[in-house]
A and B are shown apart, each in its own frame.
Chain A
Amino acid sequence: MPPAIETVDLVKEYGDLRALQELSLTVEKGEFFGLLGPNGAGKTTFINTLVGLVRKSGGEARVFGHDVEDDYQQARDAIGLAPQEFNVDRFFPIKEVLTHKAGYHGIPASEAAERADDVLKRVGIYDKRDERFDWLSGGMKRRLLLARALVTEPDLLILDEPTAGVDVQLRHDLWELVTELNEEGTTILLTTHYIEEAERLCDRVAIMNEGRKVTVATPAELKQRGTDTIAVRLASAPAATPDLGSYAHETTVSGDRLEVRVDDGGSTAPRLLNDLEAMGHEIADLEITRTSLEEIFVDLTRSEDRTVTRSSAESAGDDDPPANDNREGEREQEGVA
């Protein structure tokens, strides 16, 4: 079974600007995959390359094994796209917009009408079915984009920042719906700025920056790459900063409060407490603060650490976070970028 998405050294150039730089990425069938990155990272360009709205400058891109240019009909038939922008037909009531879209995908008129009703109910705007797009509220417009993507019952659902600017209720509704779809077997590619969204929904995430893939990992793996902080309140202020082992990357003292930065707070805390007690300190309180995914994300996409050239990208890899099981493969992929 071919992957849902497979790109190899995908390149998109706009004159001197390289929007995608030798991007190699694989999304397995049935996966809930997140694309994270700051504005201009190339997320939407990547998506639009898959659906035919952007023509690649180089490399390969396949959807369920179908080349997006040579087998464009099969590739596009498999995809439902809810884009960032409101690109909806203004001439027709929204139910007709959906039946037209279903029709373009070869679904006969009577079945298309049924599906349109179903998806409008599913996203909660069935009572607006005879309205035109321009008369909908912002949240309803966002729901319609999702309905339009679903009406063709795609094997691959692509959501380009679906919750940007929507209220909390709608965001949770969308999360619930896409989770259901994924459980039903739909592969989902989600781009988002919201780290919480990726952490909550995605099996794996790719972090992109300036057209390159910075890393691919599960949210949990990513969080492991950061350092944790163990804050210990001592019964009395120490006279000097305790000399701990190499596990302590940084130790600071402020009055009776001691802060130690370590790789894994949970597993290191007992050792730290033993060491401190062995030095004669009495422990009054302890708190472990884990690195947030957001901090990891900011660290990985910090632009001053990265440039757009191939040579500097390779050297930038030397400054990346400490190695884990996935680092070797990723470093190799970055070398290609």
Chain B
Amino acid sequence: MLSVGFRALFRREILRFVRRPKNTFMPPAITNVLYFAVFGVILGGRIDEIAGYPYILFIVPGLVVLGAISNAFENASFSIFHGRWNEYIHETLTSPLSYVEMVVAYVGASAVRGLVVGVIIAAVGRAFVPIGIEHGLFLVATMIVITALFAGLGIIGGLVARDFDDLTVMNQFILRPLVFFGAVFYSLETFEQAWQINLSLLNPMVYMVDSVRFGLLGHSDLIGVGILPGPYADFAPLVSLGVLTTGTLLVMAIDVYLFKIGYGLTD
């Protein structure tokens, strides 16, 4: 897997976004300063604690997830689509890299961007409120899985897109609403109706935000609402991570398949 060719493509993909911090790292940093200032400090001061945490602290994990997965998705979809648009993805396609190597390099580099943005957002949050890490290993595993998942979805988006507007639609009109309704700014435990919780549980973002919140704060809504039966309730975050990991591997398998059949890549 770590062939010279794989490392060359991975490095190229990393350099593409590292050399453009104004386009890649500064926007989420600035946006999240605004989020923390407005939602955390100005509005948060008027909101009671949620699940026993100050509001500004409660929203940190969700904002980390929002930034990380949005950037992972955006990086992968843009890199693939821009390469298709200008046809320089042919440089990769005509190389002896295997389809698995191509996909892992694109997904890996985009996941790295998502992780870096996640760390930046956490650092911004740290400037507003002290943040500890309750379950470090779980947090790292979750972040890697969800950024890889959205990088993998970004590849599908980049292959499916017909023009740049399609990429905007995917990110702004599908991804962001799902994240905002993914218990970023509220706790599932605040819902009084069962159907509200059940509907929320259909949103995959809920599990991602909850897992990161569990890693950072040690709190899980999924444990609180009892998604698993009694004696297994505390395993909810692990089950979430397992399902997310399975989903990520599935999406990457789809990516490899699409590369193999040349979907959106070959005539």
Contacts and interface: CB of A to CB of B under 8 A. Distances in A.
Contacts of B135: none
Interface in A60-82: 72-74, 76-77, 79, 81
B193 interface: no
B4 A87 contact: no
A105 interface: yes
12 contacts: A51-B94, A52-B93, A53-B90, A53-B267, A54-B266, A55-B266, A73-B96, A79-B94, A100-B8, A103-B7, A105-B95, A148-B91
A53 B91 CA distance: 10
Interface string A86-107: 0111111000010111111111
A55 B267 CA distance: 6
A101 B96 CA distance: 10
B96 A91 contact: no
B101 to A, nearest CB: 9
Contact of B96 (A77, A89, A97, A99): A77
B266 to A, nearest CB: 5
Given A87-B88, A109-B8, A148-B91, 13 more contacts: A45-B267, A51-B93, A51-B94, A52-B94, A53-B90, A87-B91, A90-B88, A97-B91, A101-B91, A102-B8, A104-B5, A104-B95, A104-B97
Given A53-B267, A100-B8, A104-B5, A85 B87 contact: yes
Given A87-B88, A103-B4, A14 B267 contact: yes
Contacts of B93: 51-53
Nearest to B87: A87
A91 B16 contact: yes
A270 to B, nearest CB: 55
A100 B12 contact: yes
A14 B267 CA distance: 8
B95 A76 contact: yes
Interface in A218-242: none
A299 B80 CA distance: 44
Nearest to B90: A87
Interface string B1-21: 001110111011001100100
Contacts of B11: 103
B132 interface: no
Interface of B: 3-5, 7-9, 11-12, 15-16, 19, 83, 86-88, 90-98, 261-262, 266-267
A106 B94 contact: no
Given A81-B94, A104-B5, A106-B3, A89 B266 contact: no
Contacts of B87: 85, 87
A83 interface: yes
A138 interface: no
A159 to B, nearest CB: 14
A14 B266 CA distance: 12
A103 B5 contact: yes
Contact of A104 (B16, B19, B92, B261): B92
A322 interface: no
A108 interface: yes
B235 to A, nearest CB: 43
B91 A100 contact: yes
Contacts of B19: 91
A291 interface: no
Nearest to A74: B96
A48 interface: yes
A51 B83 CA distance: 17
B113 to A, nearest CB: 14
Contact of A105 (B5, B7, B90, B261): B5
A102 B9 CA distance: 10
A93 B261 CA distance: 31
